[in-house]
Structure 1
Amino acid sequence: MGQGLSCATTQEHGLFSAMQSGDLDTVKAMLERDPSLTHQTTAYDRQSALHIAAANGRIEILSMLLERSVNPDVVNRHKQTPLMLAAMHGKIGCLKKLIEAGANILKFDSLNRRTCLHYAAYYGHSDCLQAVLSAAQSSPVAVSWGYARFVNIRDGRGAAPLHLAARQRRPQCVRILLDNGALVCASTGGYGCPGSTPLHLAARGGSLDCTRELLAWGADRLQRDASGRIPYLVALKHKHGACAALLNPSSAEPLVWPSPLKFISELNQEAKALLERALMDANREREKNILKGTAYSLPSPSHSDTGADDNISEASDTELCCICFEHVCTIEVQDCGHQMCAQCTLALCCHNKPNPTIACLNPPVCPFCRSAIVRLVVAKVKDCDDADQDIGEIGSPKMRKARKSRNFSSEGSSSFKGLSVMSPFGKMGGRGSGRMAAENEWVDKP
């Protein structure tokens, strides 16, 4: 990659060595004697003082250089900016400082025509990736290019940041990019095998976590690369048996995060975390069934709803979801106030094979009153004085009984007749489809 921070054997060598070691006093003294040193570069890679400070995380030195009006977009021999090096080495403090100083996040290097977003994704620095994406939302880039275009920006070989993150086994970066609008089924140009999707590249790298994330966001297991291979065949070729088992077209399909639904994009972080956890738990159960009895059996999940349920008192049984009677109500439909567990909420909203020709899905309806679900929040109840309380703070048996009666007495309660005795993921329409086997009027059409 040509990233060595070489130093000349002249006076600059002392300056650059002091910067690498973080010797602020020496750097200050040298620049006071000779201010022109701020514009000196190393002999071979043409690294400037700002490059060296950024790559080594020397934020005090970097700030001092910026205060001396050093160009934040100065480039080295490979047209890399200090911002790119900060993203490459995961120096979040320096990266944020450079962005504050007006560094251009849309600069391309001359090696692979990559931006700082590509570098953060490739090297797996999720905090840097998030900082660059946050900057893009409020910078001229969002106006001139468009935010969605920036998230899916291609390098010289046709790879978007999501492709790089998937190939390099960076599940956190994969999730952040998908959450910010990265195209889950986009094909590469010349990167990897031409026509590879992020799922092909995750299969090649053998990352179960990246594979899970991509499948949960609707990656197509049957999409072929330019050689006609589906991800399953790529995983087999590279001897990644567990990935191959999950990608096998004959295995059960995963539940898919319903990102096209408008209310999903407007979820607050707490509600979104509950739903994402429920989705991953459901897909983990699917994986255990697929891999059962094979050499790739998965360990038990690190978290379990069973442990949480063990802490619920006997008196709180009436707080269970009135659809499945297995899980505590954690999600509330804001307009009508009806509550259910995250698992049943997902059963209303999830699907298994997204149709790329459909820009958005019809919103699901509340199973209790049939009103459209336009916003979901974390469930809360009111005590006798109408004061809000969180789920974990409910203590009154009278309130629990009232809440259960409230859900059952709703006008549309008959819409889920027959569902009360089954697990929300126990009966799905089709194999692993994520649609609850209920009345057609509140099930998404295929």
Structure 2
Amino acid sequence: MGQGLSCAANHVHGLFTAVQFGDAETVETLLQRNPSLIHQTTVYDRQSALHIAAANGQIEIVSMLLGRSVKPDLLNRHKQTPLMLAAMHGRFSCVQTLIEAGANILMFDSVNGRTCLHYAAYYGHSDCLQVILSAARSSHVAASWGYSRFVNIRDGKGATPLHLAARQRRPECVHLLLDSGALVCASTGGYGFPGSTPLHLAARGGSIDCIRELLAWGADRLQIDASGRIPYMVALKHKRGACAALLNPSSAEPLVWPSPLKFISELNAEAKALLEQALMEANREREKDILKGTAYSLPSPSYSDTGTDDNISEASDTELCGICFDQVCTIEVQDCGHQMCASCTIALCCHNKPNPTTASLNAPICPFCRSSIAQLVVANVKTGHDIDHDIASSKLRRSRKSRNLSEGSSSFKGLSAMGSFGKMGGRGPGQIVAENEWVDKS
């Protein structure tokens, strides 16, 4: 009898080992010999074969188990689903496959009361975060819960995914959540220090990239936590000097993404990327002025303003923005057809200070024809066949540019950023960690 139990235990151990290392052939053989093995779990934490396959990114075995009618929402000892473990370890293909198989994205675990969205944000897996958010838009979640409510879902300590991403220094996830409707000024319950906003938590973590994203989406530098501290004071306490300089209420206000404007919410992806880049570059220029002469000065651009102007080709010069005469036109007002650069467009649309009344902002006015801007699109850039026809106007425009700059009449030039748009960091590859490391100790 004891010999039979030992043999069964060996088969179970063999199955879990094969699953962990992706030996699909052995898994198939063991399940054919003993189909009941598919329902076995590990002794202590009650991980199923599907949990182990999802956590280790073994997509072939995940698909095999789901094909054998294994339920995608099996629970381990901590009421964690395979989807949660896949999101935790950044297993994008497994996350996608489990969701397609009907995995419930609204399940909460018993460790911190978190969902798969919390775990993807906490560990910085923006690709997994994206597929979960996409599933929420198209599933019953949007109809029953509401998409915005899901994006701002709170864990057992009152932390939203945005709070977790900001605290863990995950700027890519912060950006994605803000772009999906995360509340930038929401306060926590018991997570971190009570009453903390994402900006408080980013200040504590010391991520300038996260702070930059939050400020660009209207985070309030004067909002206090339960102890009466503003984010600036939190940054000082944790010796985050550069962050404190940017969060100092006496420093210049950043430009804020004009999300309340209807035509901004309807931008196509290409136009949106151009405007977001222009806004972030303008704010980086502001940061350079704030940090100039301090120990936290940002690196200088690799080329000067003068050098940049000399490198503008004849082709691009014919398309220079008629407002700043400095950058190429990339954005077009759809109704009237007038074009300008992304920096000047941002200057027209952005407000400098978060304001609760901005939801009813009037549409900005085209600076050329004074008509209301209702829609923006990417401007068509002229091809080489059009260049010869425009050489004369190019020379005239150069003359106008020189005169305009000498008279100091361009109020938008200060927003033209020379620095490159840095790629935001965020996550390393998902790694398997010990069970006690899955518990948030923040």
Query: TM-score under structure 2 normalisation?
Result: 0.86
For 2:387, the aligned partner's letter is: S
After superposition, the C-alpha distances for 1:19-46 in whole angstroms (9 at most, x for unaligned) are 1111111000000011111111000110
1:235 aligns with 2:226: no
User: Tell me, what secondary structure is at the counterpart of 2:154?
Assistant: coil
Match for residue 426 of structure 1 among 414, 418, 423: 414
Distance 1:127 1:329, change over 3 A: same
- Rounded to whole Å, the distance in 1 between the matches of 2:329 and 2:35 is 65
1:183 aligns with 2:179: no
- Rounded to whole Å, the distance in 1 between the matches of 2:46 and 2:284 is 49
Higher normalized contact order (CA 8 Å, seq sep 6+, divided by chain length)? 2
Match in the other structure for 1:67: 67
> Can you give the 5+ residue segments of structure 1 that lack an aligned partner in the other structure?
1-7, 381-389, 406-415, 429-446
Percent identity of paired positions between Structure 1 and Structure 2: 77
1:58 aligns with 2:46: no
- Rounded to whole Å, the distance in 2 between the matches of 1:133 and 1:94 is 15
Match in the other structure for 2:161: 161
Distance 1:330 1:307, change over 3 A: farther
- Rounded to whole Å, the distance in 2 between the matches of 1:365 and 1:153 is 37
- Rounded to whole Å, the distance in 1 between the matches of 2:305 and 2:82 is 45
- Rounded to whole Å, the distance in 2 between the matches of 1:157 and 1:306 is 53
Shift of 1:306: 7.9
1:102 aligns with 2:102: yes
Shift of 1:302: 8.3
Match in the other structure for 1:370: 370
Shift of 1:354: 2.2
Maintained 8 Å contact 2:365/2:372: yes
> Can you give the 5+ residue segments of structure 2 that lack an aligned partner in the other structure?
1-7, 397-403, 417-442
1:24 aligns with 2:12: no
Match in the other structure for 1:409: none
User: Tell me, what secondary structure is at the counterpart of 1:359?
Assistant: helix
Match in the other structure for 2:114: 114
Distance 1:314 1:234, change over 3 A: same
Shift of 1:304: 9.3
Maintained 8 Å contact 2:19/2:49: yes
Maintained 8 Å contact 1:333/1:377: yes
- Rounded to whole Å, the distance in 2 between the matches of 1:153 and 1:371 is 41
- Rounded to whole Å, the distance in 1 between the matches of 2:297 and 2:71 is 54
- Rounded to whole Å, the distance in 2 between the matches of 1:331 and 1:264 is 13
Q: Give the alignment of 1:19-418 within 5 angstroms.
A: 19-300=19-300, 311-314=311-314, 316-380=316-380, 390-391=381-382, 395-399=386-390
Structure with more of its chain in helix, by fraction: 2
For 2:128, the aligned partner's letter is: C
After superposition, the C-alpha distances for 1:410-445 in whole angstroms (9 at most, x for unaligned) are xxxxxx9x99842515399xxxxxxxxxxxxxxxxx
- Rounded to whole Å, the distance in 2 between the matches of 1:85 and 1:303 is 46
- Rounded to whole Å, the distance in 1 between the matches of 2:112 and 2:291 is 39
Maintained 8 Å contact 2:331/2:340: yes
Shift of 1:176: 0.3
Maintained 8 Å contact 2:332/2:377: yes
For 1:228, the aligned partner's letter is: G
Shift of 1:374: 1.1
Maintained 8 Å contact 2:318/2:390: no
**Stretch moving more, 193-202 or 316-325:** 316-325
- Rounded to whole Å, the distance in 2 between the matches of 1:53 and 1:303 is 50
Distance 1:379 1:236, change over 3 A: same
Distance 1:327 1:165, change over 3 A: same
Shift of 1:72: 0.3
After superposition, the C-alpha distances for 1:160-194 in whole angstroms (9 at most, x for unaligned) are 00000000000000000000000111111111011
- Rounded to whole Å, the distance in 2 between the matches of 1:208 and 1:24 is 44
Maintained 8 Å contact 2:79/2:110: yes
Shift of 1:266: 1.1
**Stretch moving more, 54-63 or 313-322:** 313-322
After superposition, the C-alpha distances for 1:123-143 in whole angstroms (9 at most, x for unaligned) are 000000000000100000000
- Rounded to whole Å, the distance in 1 between the matches of 2:304 and 2:171 is 21
Maintained 8 Å contact 1:319/1:400: no
For 2:389, the aligned partner's letter is: K
Distance 1:201 1:305, change over 3 A: farther
Shift of 1:307: 7.7
- Rounded to whole Å, the distance in 2 between the matches of 1:366 and 1:212 is 28
Match in the other structure for 2:431: none
After superposition, the C-alpha distances for 1:311-332 in whole angstroms (9 at most, x for unaligned) are 5324643421111111111110
For the aligned residue pairs, the C-alpha RMSD in angstroms reads 2.5
Maintained 8 Å contact 1:188/1:196: yes
Match in the other structure for 1:435: none
- Rounded to whole Å, the distance in 2 between the matches of 1:121 and 1:283 is 25
User: Tell me, what secondary structure is at the counterpart of 1:319?
Assistant: coil
**Stretch moving more, 47-56 or 298-307:** 298-307
